[in-house]
Structure 1
Amino acid sequence: MKDVVEIVDVTLRDGIQNEKTFLDLDTKKRMLAAIIDAGATRIEITSFVNPARVPQMADAEALCADLPREGLRHIGLVLNHRGFARALEAGLDEVNYAIVLSDTFSQRNQGMTSAEGVALWHRLAAETRGRVGTNVTLAAAFGCPFEGEVPVARMIEVLEQVMEAAPDELTLADTIGVATPRDIEDRVGAVRARFPDLPIRLHLHNTRNTGLANAWAGYCAGVRSFDASLGGVGGCPFAPRATGNLPTEDLVYMFERSGIATGYDLDRAIAGAKALEVALGHPVPGMLMKAGGFPAPAGI
């Protein structure tokens, strides 16, 4: 049997949150259908944030009101207690709460320090217990655009505080795309050494073209869950030059050609990426959507 990885689709959240072209509700629903058709079963569908700061997420409740459910799990990103309450009211399967590892970035992203973010997590964890699945994302886990390097010791210090109210899953986010394979190995290894039973997901940005190499390093380090977006769209509105998630179709190709099952159909993922490119009105970064899969032999 093949080994298996999970690809969590983040197209409709991180993928479009920084886009200038506004996608209306009908377009988002069409894209969701394409995402599901490609093979996604776990989808970060939206974020419950201030629409004045992130206009693309202004229709969060409307998008969540009529979601296809069978065989799917939908995730909502939350940054504060208000967002958390909205996510619960929307009836999603999971909440993903972000804690930024540097105070400067945390203040810009959430209006609180990292310590205040941890304290809020403890409150939210008590309120969510048994109601929905929980994930904590450690954002800027590999580096901060304002403070620079984020030591492994800092990551573990914050994680130990988080684990006083343990989430179901931890995501390590390379928010600004600075990680290298060695960084992935070191940080995943540090988490494994301290909390060996904690499921780890990786949220990798391809800003400096190391995303696929980092995903492979994560796989070799034992990670089996990865975030990706169609066409590699994405970026944080509050982090300078934080462009691009891993392209779903590129990640699918790498794993499937390596004998690792993803549950995705490459051709349908490519079709979804092309449809998103049309909807956004500009080229998107993915490469498989341009090159296609392994070419069929030429006729003799």
Structure 2
Amino acid sequence: MYVNLPKNVTIIEVGPRDGLQNEQSFVDTDVKKEFIRLLAASGIKEMEITSFVSPKWVPQMRDAAEIVHTAPDGVRSIVLAPNRRGVDRVRETSVKSVAVFVGVSNTFNKKNINKPTKESMEELKPVISELKKKNYFVRACISTAFYCPYEGKIAESDTVSLCREFAEAGVDELSVADTIGMAVPTESFSLFSKVKKELPELMVAAHFHDTRKTALANIFAALQAGIDRFDTSAGGLGGCPFAPGATGNVATEDVVYMLQRMGIDTGIDLDKLTEAIDLIAPAVSRPINTGYYQLAGTSS
């Protein structure tokens, strides 16, 4: 008998941000806005909608200021900000949910934001404190929680330690990521069991990439470890510009289908979700061939 399976799961849709950030050809701003609207219409209640990063490094996000002005009602719209400059830009908008990020791996962190992990945390802590004083919802995205493309296997103790450090800094949620999609279910269950035991009161989301087609199995293992929040990307879009070999995030539609068949409610309408994927499919560089979408007979 399976244990710890929840009755409800929250899906945090990351397609508009993490899904599109690595696209080489700029996706039209109006298409992004409609994509976000359709995702919200499908029943998604939490979503990363864009990122306030340097257009020099992530040109796909250069329209962030325009995107946030059309954030859908009734949705927790989260904006990624890598540093104080990005956070200051977010504070000029009406968005009240911010995601910050740090890699467990020093090498990944240096490649990504040009600072080692410890230095990044020291800079982020006062920023997190300021955001909480202004009643922002703060999400901490922990990259390379299992493996790093440069350093290999990451020690569980290092990931748990960084999770604890973020919790002590006052964040509302942790998003713990298998950035390059190397984790397997035993590793998923082990790490998330430790994180939940260490931080039982904190919201924890699991973020899996499907590089080696283990993401659904890892989600099942995380469910049994007590996780009931998952980052997913409609159409399986995504990849990380600073993680060689990383492919798309696990597909929202495949996760929702699996959970619904297991009797776990997500509040998401798969038919309406498919409409959002239909819209974005012609605008991205690779065909969308996720399992549910293909079998729905609507793939491009």
TM-score bracket relative to the smaller structure: over 0.9
Q: Which residue of 2 aligns with 1:237?
A: 241
The C-alpha deviation readout for 1:178-233, integer Å capped at 9, x for no partner, is 11111111111111222221111011100110011111111111111111111101
Q: Which segments of 5 or more consecutive residues in structure 2 lack a partner in the other structure?
A: 1-5
Map residues 75-114 of structure 1 onto 2, 5 A cutoff: 75-114=78-117
Amino acid at match of 2:69: A
Q: Which residue of 2 aligns with 1:23?
A: 27
Amino acid at match of 1:50: S
User: Would you say 1:9 and 2:5 are equivalent positions?
Assistant: no
**Are the aligned partners of 2:104 and 2:162 in contact in 1 as well (CA < 8 Å)?**
yes
User: Would you say 1:253 and 2:266 are equivalent positions?
Assistant: no
Task: Note the C-alpha offset of 1:159.
Answer: 2.6
- Determine the C-alpha separation between the residues in 1 that align with 2:121 and 2:62: 26
The C-alpha deviation readout for 1:113-144, integer Å capped at 9, x for no partner, is 10011112211122111421011111100110
**Are the aligned partners of 1:270 and 1:288 in contact in 2 as well (CA < 8 Å)?**
no
Q: Which residue of 1 aligns with 2:231?
A: 227
Identity of aligned residues (%): 38
User: Would you say 1:265 and 2:269 are equivalent positions?
Assistant: yes
Q: Which segments of 5 or more consecutive residues in structure 1 lack a partner in the other structure?
A: 294-300
- 18-27 or 278-287: which moved more? 278-287
Q: Which residue of 2 aligns with 1:53?
A: 57
User: Would you say 1:178 and 2:170 are equivalent positions?
Assistant: no
- Determine the C-alpha separation between the residues in 2 that align with 1:260 and 1:5: 7
Q: What is the TM-score normalised by the length of structure 2?
A: 0.93
Across the aligned residues of Structure 1 and Structure 2, the Cα RMSD in angstroms comes to 1.4
Structure 1 runs of 4+ with >4 Å offset: none
**Counterpart secondary structure, 1:50:** coil
**Are the aligned partners of 1:230 and 1:276 in contact in 2 as well (CA < 8 Å)?**
no
**Are the aligned partners of 1:233 and 1:285 in contact in 2 as well (CA < 8 Å)?**
no
- Determine the C-alpha separation between the residues in 1 that align with 2:84 and 2:252: 31
Task: Note the C-alpha offset of 1:28.
Answer: 0.7
Q: Which residue of 1 aligns with 2:3?
A: none
The C-alpha deviation readout for 1:222-261, integer Å capped at 9, x for no partner, is 1111111111010100110111111111111000010000
Amino acid at match of 1:259: G
- Determine the C-alpha separation between the residues in 1 that align with 2:247 and 2:285: 17
Amino acid at match of 2:213: N
- 44-53 or 125-134: which moved more? 125-134
Task: Note the C-alpha offset of 1:163.
Answer: 2.8
**Are the aligned partners of 1:14 and 1:234 in contact in 2 as well (CA < 8 Å)?**
yes
Aligned length: 291
**Are the aligned partners of 2:33 and 2:70 in contact in 1 as well (CA < 8 Å)?**
no
The change in CA–CA distance for 1:282 and 1:139 in structure 2 (over 3 A counts) is closer
Task: Note the C-alpha offset of 1:272.
Answer: 1.8
Question: Which of residues 215, 235, 260 is equivalent to 1:211?
Answer: 215
User: Would you say 1:166 and 2:164 are equivalent positions?
Assistant: no
**Are the aligned partners of 1:46 and 1:77 in contact in 2 as well (CA < 8 Å)?**
yes
